[in-house]
Structure 1
Amino acid sequence: MPSTPNLSTPNLSAPTQSALPEPSPLYRWLILLFVSLAMFGNYYVYDSMWPVLDLMRSDLDLSYQQIGLLSSVYNAAALLVLLAGGYAIDRWGTKKAITVFAFICLFAAVLTVITPKYEVILAGRFMLGIGAEPLIVAAVTVLSKWFKGKELSFAFGINLSISRLGSASADWSTSFASPLYTNWQDPLWLASAVAGISVTAAILYWIMERRAEGRYQVGTSSAAEKVDFKSLYKFSASYWYIVALCVVFYATVFPFRTFAIDYFQQAHGISREAAGLLSSLLPVAAIILTPLFGIWVDRVGRRSLFMAAGALVMLPLFLAVTYLPPGPEINLIIPFIGSAMVPLTLFVVIFLLGAVFSLIPAVMWPSVAYIVEEKRLGTAFAIMTFCQQIGWMVVPPIVGLLNDINSASPDNTAGYAPGMWFYTGLAATGLYFAFKLWRSETGPNAHGLEHITTKTGMNSNV
């Protein structure tokens, strides 16, 4: 811990922050690389469990509901961390925080795989939520400090792309690490090794941050916002419609991803490698399309209309994979990863879901800044994230229970249909809130979501 400076006698030999030179672009981009690699490992570990669900069910005799709880316990931990705010990051500083939380993620990954006892695996997923969520907050804090007033938006985009590559790589492991998929543990040991890379990247970031102290002029980040429940009544109806859409949207897409690879294998009879490539279309689409949709919407406006359109497109997709004929098989190719034959219907549905997964978040999160005063944005985003985690936590055990009650299996593929109807019900609820938002933003109390564009130069808080 650095010593406290003597306030009565200034140290004339120590340069002030403003007198220091700025770091070189290379230095800043290396900081971005190491922080993003730490995030890559975090995302990989979280998604590494979904390709082995069938092996965990056969080797450990787990029910679908138990599998759902392995997803939900992560969100329960995330809610506890969110309530704590950014206290640990503010107290420790970003270099110590990122390293500590990366080590927690590594410990969680090892705890998850080291024993077949379900309670220990559950504890591992809980620990992952404790480490992963504040690691994300710390990474955002680092980027704000090093790129504020420079290439901040681009840096955030690069960070998100590298992070989501972690999710895609976990799906792709069914191809490039296919020999490991003879039991449930070996793929998760691979995830632990990736978590080790994350720790290494965090340590390298620590070294570079420590080396920069006293040498370069680096920005400071404001203290993390905590949830202020007293200000809930101050937010407009449009804000709450966006929050509601956020909750049901993420409570639909992320739980679907939890069971997707297993569902493609069991209900549609495709190989694990094909199922992994198909599932990876969701994060890959987000990597490519999210920034493009963001640029497009900034130019044309119509934000609430785009959110409603995305919700409408999502509505029939889960019933389509359940009831439509599979169609001819096509060759799905992921360059440098692999290829597999998949049914055309599944490809089209997952491609459209990936497009929606890119469109709605690209419009939804920035829209909050247009309808909430700047001084309350921290609270607005914190409440939105808090509600999102609750919805995401509740759904996986329900879908798992529906699968168990209806004896879903390769011999009874109709048993998966109730879960798909549940996703459809959530999508319909999301469409309702998106429609209410559109009606609100085309009425007399609109905040400008339909009209503000980069060409108008209008103020964001209308």
Structure 2
Amino acid sequence: MNTFKPAPPKVYRWAILFCVSLAMFGNYYVYDSLWPIVDLLREDPGFSYAQIGMLSTAYNIAALLVLLVGGYAIDRFGTQKALLVFALICLGAAVLTVATSRYEVILAGRFLLGVGAEPLIVAATTVLAKWFKGKELSFAFGINLSISRLGSASADWSTSFASPLYTNWQDPLWLASAVAGISVTAAMLYWILEKRAQQQYQVGEVVSANDDKIDFKSLYKFPLAYWYIVALCVVFYATVFPFRSFAIDYFQQAHGITRETAGLLSSLLPVAAIILTPLFGLLVDRVGRRGLFMAAGAIVMLPLFVAVTYLPAGPDVYLWIPFIGSAMVPLTLFIVIFLLGAVFSLIPAVMWPSVAYLVDARRLGSAYALMTLCQQVGWAVVPLIIGRLNDVFDAGPTYPQGYAPGMWFYTLLAAIGVYFAFKLWHHDRDNARLASSPHTGA
């Protein structure tokens, strides 16, 4: 006898969204919690910039391995168990990272974080697709991304609201471990909510994570514009994310500002993403011209790293973030980070949806998985190069000019991004696919 079950009430869906997003918040916080203590890691355990760069790369190597494995664990055990297990792995990674000053153990902790964090993101995406397909799916994804980025911003803000912890390198990471515990709690709440919902309501079917496995046989069928977007994706994330990794330390050592001010300034990047990414997405959906927007963003980014290195600091200006804090920051740094934050919002808001207009829907999962794989490769290599350059040129407070080679390397990457953005724009104009509005069938 078939028993009719009603659809879950709307408030239930938003409770699920809140739990999953809170798990993601903790995930992002733990990843970014390492960057405000770069100078402390160099002082106390005595790590080199190259070693710190490897702590970033270890996460990406793990992410690459997990991506190649695909969504087997999520398919095999379901989203309830998967989300909780991966949140527990992230918690274990956070504790392992702070438990000892031995470099090999900290490196293992960052690797373990990559093992847990990337599948957690896939599991969260799968949950949202199951609960919101046909019901505010895009908006739900936007909210999830905003809360996730809030985790990154909060790690930067911890230099202010948790400033007493920054007398040593371990206490801020113990705070990150506590935040990882919040992720585990949120994952448990999601499990309880969904188990109850399955008994009382008609819950959507699970979207198979295997849809995101890379189909190597079909790679040659992807259009040329797709490969331009992949190339732009690689150089963009390989520029912005490694810069964020070293930004707080760079602001302190090269520009002589306090850790609290540096953290507030660095947080402008994720704060911009929280606010501007949905707005840019709405704008481009209305006017089209996706290739042109990506080219414009690449051009804006090109001079920023040279500017922050060579331009005069200028007068101090007042920076205030509501509910977080305020500080006086050099005008040049403020303008550069504000513009980089705008680019950090614009290019992803245009780039990822553009793939859907270029690739057949049946191979969209493979297209996104391949794009993410390439992104991780670039992101893994650059921190090693920047760390090595900083060490070779003796970058530090006594010789701030030593940071210049790293900034020129970021500029080189940005220039490559401009090249591929313009190749995409010209291809776009010739084929009139990305340039046209979605309303005209793009």
TM-score (norm 2): 0.99
Structure 2 CA distance, aligned partners of 1:24 and 1:222?
A: 20
- What CA deviation, in whole Å up to 9, does each residue of 1:357-390 have, x standing for no partner? 0000000000000011111101100100000000
CA distance in 1, matches of 2:295, 2:321: 31
Aligned twin of 2:121 = 136
Aligned length: 440
CA apart distance, 1:451 = 1.3
Partner of 1:448: 433
Alignment match of 1:175 (pick from 144, 160, 163): 160
Which consecutive residues of structure 1, in runs of 5 or more, have no partner in the other structure?
1-11
Matched residues in 1 for 2:285 and 2:19: separation? 30
Which structure 2 residues correspond to residues 36-75 of structure 1 after superposition, within 5 A?
A: 36-75=21-60
Moved over 6 A (4+): none
| Distance in structure 1 (CA, Å) of the matches to 2:356 and 2:137 | 17
* SS in structure 2 at match of 1:213: helix
Match among 221, 226, 242 for residue 213 of structure 2: 226
1:116 corresponds to 2:101:
yes
Q: Please give the residue correspondences for 1:402-413 in structure 2 after superposition, counting only pairs within 5 Å.
A: 402-413=389-400
| AA at the equivalent of 1:458 | T
What is the rounded CA distance, in whole Å, between the counterparts of 1:291 and 1:197 in structure 2? 26
C-alpha offsets along residues 149-195 of structure 1, whole Å, 9 cap, x if unaligned? 11111111111111110000000000000000000000000000000
Residue matched to 2:179? 194
Task: Report the alpha carbon displacement of residue 447 of structure 1 after superposing the two structures with TM.
Answer: 5.1
Which of 366, 372, 376 is equivalent to 1:389? Answer: 376
Aligned position for 2:17 = 32
Aligned residue identity for 2:251: F
Q: Among 42, 61, 80, which residue is 2:65 paired with?
A: 80
Q: What SS does the corresponding residue of 2:213 show, helix, strand or coil?
A: coil
Distance in 2 separating the partners of 1:438 and 1:328 = 38
Q: 1:325 aligns with which of 312, 327, 350?
A: 312
CA distance in 1, matches of 2:239, 2:247: 12
> Does 2:436 align with 1:458?
no
SS in 2 for 1:442: helix
> CA separation in 1, counterparts of 2:360 and 2:18?
33
Alignment partner of 1:352 is 2:334: no
8 Å CA contact retained: 1:371, 1:447: no
CA shift at 1:200, angstroms?
A: 0.5
**Do residues 379 (structure 1) and 366 (structure 2) align?**
yes
Q: Distance in 1 between matches of 2:298 and 2:407?
A: 16
Please tell me the residue identity of whatever aligns with 2:38.
L
**Separation in 2 of the partners of 1:213 and 1:223?**
18
The TM-score normalised by the length of structure 1 is 0.94
| Deviation (angstroms), 1:226 | 0.8
Q: CA deviation at 1:231?
A: 1.2
The 5-angstrom pairing of residues 249-398 of structure 1 reads: 249-398=236-385
State the shift of 1:452 in Å.
2.0
Describe the SS at the equivalent of 1:60: coil
Larger deviation, residues 220-229 vs 351-360? 220-229
Identity %: 75
Any idea what SS the aligned residue of 2:313 has?
coil
> Contact between 2:130 and 2:207, CA under 8 Å: does it hold in 1?
no
Q: What SS does the aligned partner of 2:327 have?
A: strand
Structure number with bigger Rg: 1
**CA displacement, residues 112-145 of structure 1 (integer Å, 9 cap, x when unaligned):** 0000000000000000000000000000100110
One-letter amino acid matched to 1:126 = F
Q: CA deviation at 1:222?
A: 2.9
| Preserved contact between residue 265 and residue 271 of structure 1 (Cα < 8 Å) | yes
Aligned pair 1:241/2:228, yes or no? yes
Stretches of structure 2 that go unaligned for 5 or more consecutive residues are none
Give SS of 2:202's match.
coil
- TM-superposed CA distance for 1:211, in Å, is 0.8
